Every structure is written in C-alpha cells, then in structure tokens.
Amino acid sequence: MFQVLPWLVAISFFMQTLDTSILNTALPAIAEDLHTSPLQMQAIIISYMLTVALIIPTSGWLTDRFGARRIFLAAIALFTLGSLTCALSPTLELLTASRVLQGIGGALMVPVGRLAVLRAFPRDQLVRVLGLITIPGLIGPLLGPPLGGFLAHYASWHWIFLINIPVGIAGFLLSLRYMPELPATDAPGSFDWIGFVLFSLFMIAITVSIDGVGELHFSSAYMGALGLFGLFCFALYCLYARKAANPLFSPALFHIRNFRVGIIGNLFARLGNGAIPFLTPLLLQVGLGYSPVKSGLTMLPIAMGAMLAKSIVGRLLKIFGYRWFLCLNTLLMGVVIAAYSMIDASTPYLAILLLFICSGIVNSLQFTSMNSLTLLDLPNSLAGSGNSLLSATMQMGMGMGVACAATILDLNTSSGQELLPAFRNTYLAIGAIGAISSLIFFQARNTKGYGCC
C-alpha cells in the first residue's frame, strides 16, 4: 500500500501544476467566448491563487483532526468538482466562483499528500520518494502552455478543465483503495479561527485593493481605505498572535533572521515574476497576433530554462552564498522582466525564445534560492508553521503580481495608450518592482550551501 502512496501524491501534484500553467494561454479564447475583454481576465487567476493562499494554513490542522486519508480524498473530490463547474460556467462570475472551489481542493492536495508521505516513510527514504513526487510537478508547467493553446485552438477552452475529470476520478478511486490511514503523531489542538480570519482579511483586502483600480474600477479613496483595512487586520493579527496560546503562525518565526528576510523577499519578488505567466500569453496573442498554439509553444522555453536551472542552483549558492546570490539574481530578474518590453512585431523570433529561456533560468534560480533561504534555519518545532506561511506567502505574492500587472495594463489602455506601448510600460514597471526588491536580501545572513527545496 505504501508503495502506491508516492504515485497518488505525484498525480495530485501533476494535476495542480498543470492546472496552474495550462490556463494562461487560453485566456483570450475564454474572454471571447464569455464576451469579455482578454485584458480583464485576471479574476480567474487571482481567485484561485488567493483561495490556495487562504486554505493552505488549515491543511496541517485538518490532517491532524480528520486524518490524511479523508482530507486527501475530499481535496481530490473538490478539485475535480471545481474543474467540472469551471467547464460548465457560462459567465465570468460563475467561472471565478468555480475557480474558488477548485482552489480549495488544490490547496489541500499537495501539502496533505506530502505530509502523508512524511509520516509513512522513514527519513532515509524521503529523498528518493520526494524526488519521485517532484518529477510530475516539473512536467506539468512544461506541458501546460502548449496543451492549453492546443485545446483552445483545436477544441474549446472547456477541455482545459474537462481533462482534469478522468484524472481526478482515477486518483479518487485509487486513493480510496490505497491511501493508508495515518494517525497524527500528536492530538491536534484547537484551530486558531481568530488568527485565521484576521490573516485572511489581510490577504483579501490587500489583493482586492490592488486589483480594484483595474478590473473593478474602484475609486482611489475606496482602494486606499481597503488597503489600510488590510494593513489594520495584519497589525491586529500580529498583536493577537503574541498573546494566543496556539497561533496560526508562531511569532517566534520572525525572530529567525533568514526566515524573516525570505518571507518579505518572497512577497515582493513575486510581485514581479508572478505577473509573467499572466502577461506574456496576452502579449503574444492580443499584442502580436499569435495563435493559442504558437503562443503556448513559444512559452515552452520558459519551463525548459526553469528545469535547466535546477541542476546549477546548489553550486551557485555554494560559491556566492545566499545574500549575494539573491541580491544579484533578483536584480537580474528585474532586468530580464524589463527586457520583455522590447518585444514587438519586428523582434526576431529566435530573440524571443532566447529571452524566454533566460527568464525561465533566472526565475527558477530565484524561487529555489528564496524558498531554501526561508526554511534553512527553522528548527523542527517551527518547520510546519513556517512552511505553511511560506506557501501562503508564495500564492499571495503571485496573486498580487497578477493584480498589479493587470492594474498597470488597464491604467495604460484606459488612458488611450496603444496596446503594445501599454504592455511595454507594464513590463518596465513590473521589472522595476522586481529589481528594487533585491535590496531586501541584503539583510540575509550570507550562509553558503544549499539546504531545502
């Protein structure tokens, strides 16, 4: 039974990563079918990312309370049901709501599955087992853009969600038979509902306030008030967590220097590179007139570059150390994002492909080194809480990146700017945000080596 468990988790990881990357190339086709501007489609991306960010902190407690098997089965069922309702959605509003349902399942599948593996296998087998689980997660982003473009062009965008259904049903039935009952090592304490509500309000308010200028057309005063409300909720959470017996995220985490720097750096750096998967298919299809298939294939080098970078990140960190490597690479990431602004109808296709390969390499180096820095110094007693906060921050950062890019693009187009100059200004702004975030990593300890993920 335990030999099947890694494959079940691998299937769930593949479903999640494929779904995250397959949708972007189909956004123009979905917008056309739903009679919406393709530049106003960020809601279906942000709703999923924000839901994942909100639900991830509950995954550990839910697993301890109800068991890994029950939660894993429920996660697959919700993700599959959400995929079906996405495919059947006739309006953007219903599609966005369905993405929320899908996000609840997606938020639980991988962390609960990973936790089940940690409890089922001895430590000397974890590297091999986790390596097996990770491989499908790398294949998903590689297949996602071209597969999404192919389905949108030759079938319909509905199949982007429908292909999850047979995989989800198979995963559910296999899990029903082979997923072991794994009791928690400790009895779960009470869940910190007050902390969860305060932290959730913070994430929702900040993200919606950024997106409100663009898609929702909030007034500046309303947007500012919403942003201040989010910061107020975060301040309340910080005060509450210091006194709570069992807080959602332990305040002791922020006494660890590299964790503190890694969390803040993750949030701001992902404002830059989190926008690329959303902006670039729109640039290629709406700005340059590429077909969905050509757009998806053109983005393939980004995933190839990301896979290539995995083999060199450890050596680079041993040479430079975390502080200097992250300062330099974050600055380079901002420059590469800004270089997207030079793409227009006269840009040689080979130059676009080379830029995308460089983008994939730099982004992958950034993600891996940031995550490793964040978790490097955590003691075992704080590892679960720290990992949950990192996962939530990653999703929130990417969602805010999409919202920020969509807002800048909308402000440029609504002011009468032509489409390609509007994309150019957006990439330059996003690149500047990414480059400036390099200053955050000057605060890290310059530890050399390569630790986690």
Region 338-367 average pLDDT:
91
**Contact in structure between 51 and 103 (CB atoms under 8 Å):** yes
Q: Is 144 a residue whose pLDDT tops 80? A: yes
More confident residue, 78 or 309: 78
pLDDT digits 0-9 by tens, 208-251: 887 665 555 566 677 788 888 988 998 998 899 888 888 888 88
256/253 Cα distance (integer angstroms): 6
Within its chain, how far is the Cα of 178 from the centroid? 29
For residue 275, what pLDDT band results from cuts at 50, 70 and 90? confident
Token pair 């779960």 is found at: 188
Using an 8 Å Cβ cutoff, are 4 and 178 in contact? yes
pLDDT at residue 329, rounded to an integer: 92
For the chain, what is the mean pLDDT? 83
Pair 299, 281: CB distance under 8 Å? yes
d(CA 430, CA 426): 6
Q: Which run of H or of E encompasses 407? A: helix 380-414
Q: For 416, left (φ over 0), alpha (ψ -120 to 50), or beta?
A: left
* Range in 67-71, 131-135, 139-143, 317-321 the model is least confident about: 131-135
C-alpha 155, offset from chain centre: 27
- Give the model's confidence band at 278: pLDDT under 50 very low, under 70 low, under 90 confident, else very high: confident
pTM, full prediction: 0.82
Confidence at residue 256, expressed as pLDDT on a 0 to 100 scale: 87
> pLDDT class for 37, splitting at 50, 70, 90?
confident
**Which token pair is 343?**
């793409």
Give the model's pLDDT for residue 450. 53
In three-state secondary structure terms, 158 is coil
Q: Is residue 448 scored above 70 in pLDDT?
A: no
Residue-wise over 365-380: b if at least 16 C-beta within 10 A, else e? bbbbbbbbbbbbbbee
Percent of the chain with pLDDT over 90: 18
- Reported as a pLDDT band with limits 50, 70 and 90, residue 137 is low
Q: Which of the residue ranges 78-92, 94-108, 398-412 would you say has the lowest mean pLDDT?
A: 398-412
Question: What is the rounded distance in angstroms from the CA atom of residue 211 to the CA atom of residue 131?
Answer: 37
Identify the pLDDT of residue 348. 94
Alpha-carbon distances, residue 175 vs 60, 84, 122, 378 (angstroms): 19, 20, 21, 32
Q: What is the pLDDT of residues 363-388, one digit of tens each?
A: 888 888 887 888 777 776 777 777 77
Residue 263 has pLDDT above 80, yes or no: yes
151, 18 Cβ separation under 8 angstroms: no
Instruction: Tell me the HSE value of 38 on the side-chain side, using a 13 A CA sphere.
Output: 23
pLDDT digits 0-9 by tens, 148-175 = 888 888 888 899 999 889 988 988 888 8
pLDDT at 126 over 70: no
What does the pLDDT read at residue 452?
Answer: 47
Whether the pLDDT of residue 413 is over 90: the answer is no
